[in-house]
């Protein structure tokens, strides 16, 4: 999966700090005479800023996908925006048996293309289905033939997405549908993970 903004910088900073610590320990054990890492520039690993999306922006992305006859992708955006699920681990692990009357049951996760029980925090949870999301899921279920089980968002071959699949979807399907950002965020592409920070405002407005 392609790294999101700030992830590469964070990884480099963490690796540098680890190397510095190992060499410092080696000096203390008299395995080496000096720590060459002291001459390396210490990079900070601040998280990339997140700008929650406004409901108008969420609906703009959703509408653009629907207008392009990409109902499944539009429904995935609804799940992210109106339920606040983690894009890869939770939303793409969602099964029709977990879409109950008025609720979503989050009780499994997708890891490296494999479905596993439990969630990232090891706590199952139930999320209320808001109007726009319930409508999209109902329509998408009809298109899929009213299934009772199986993945809500499978690949074309019916299998779970891999991280590579998700990266391709983000670049080829999601990114082209995202709106231009305000000037102060113009250099920050809209990321699917931002929907988790937008879910509360979307819920209030639904």
Q: Residues 40-57: pLDDT tens digits?
A: 666 555 555 556 777 888
Q: What is the mean pLDDT of the chain?
A: 79
Cα dihedral sign, 172-175-177-180: negative
pLDDT for 84-114, tens place per residue?
A: 888 889 999 999 999 998 899 999 999 989 9
Structural domains of the chain, ranges and CATH numbers in brackets:
1-48 (no CATH), 55-205 (1.10.443)
0.75 exceeded by pTM: no
Backbone angles phi, psi at 108, to 5 degrees: -150, 170
pLDDT exceeds cutoff 50 at 185: no
| End-to-end CA, the chain | 32
| The pLDDT value given to residue 33 | 81
Both tokens assigned to 71: 């109902």
């Amino acid at each position: 999966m392609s790294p999101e903004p700030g992830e590469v910088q964070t990884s480099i900073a963490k690796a540098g700090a680890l190397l510095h610590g190992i060499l410092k320990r080696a000096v203390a054990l008299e395995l080496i005479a000096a720590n060459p890492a002291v001459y390396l520039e210490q990079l900070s690993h601040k998280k990339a800023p997140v700008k929650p999306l406004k409901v108008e922006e969420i609906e703009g992305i959703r509408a653009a996908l629907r207008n392009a006859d990409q109902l499944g992708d539009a429904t995935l955006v609804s799940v992210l925006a109106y339920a606040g699920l983690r894009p890869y681990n939770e939303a793409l692990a969602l099964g029709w048996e977990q879409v109950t009357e008025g609720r979503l049951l989050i009780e499994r996760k997708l890891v490296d293309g494999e479905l596993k029980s439990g969630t990232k925090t090891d706590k199952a949870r139930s999320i209320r289905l808001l109007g726009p999301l319930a409508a999209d899921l109902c329509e998408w279920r009809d298109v899929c033939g009213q299934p009772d089980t199986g993945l809500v968002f499978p690949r074309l071959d019916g299998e779970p997405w891999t991280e590579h699949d998700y990266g391709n979807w983000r670049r080829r399907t999601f990114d082209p549908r995202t709106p231009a950002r305000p000037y102060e965020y113009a250099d920050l592409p809209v990321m699917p993970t931002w929907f988790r920070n937008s879910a509360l405002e979307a819920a209030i407005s639904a």
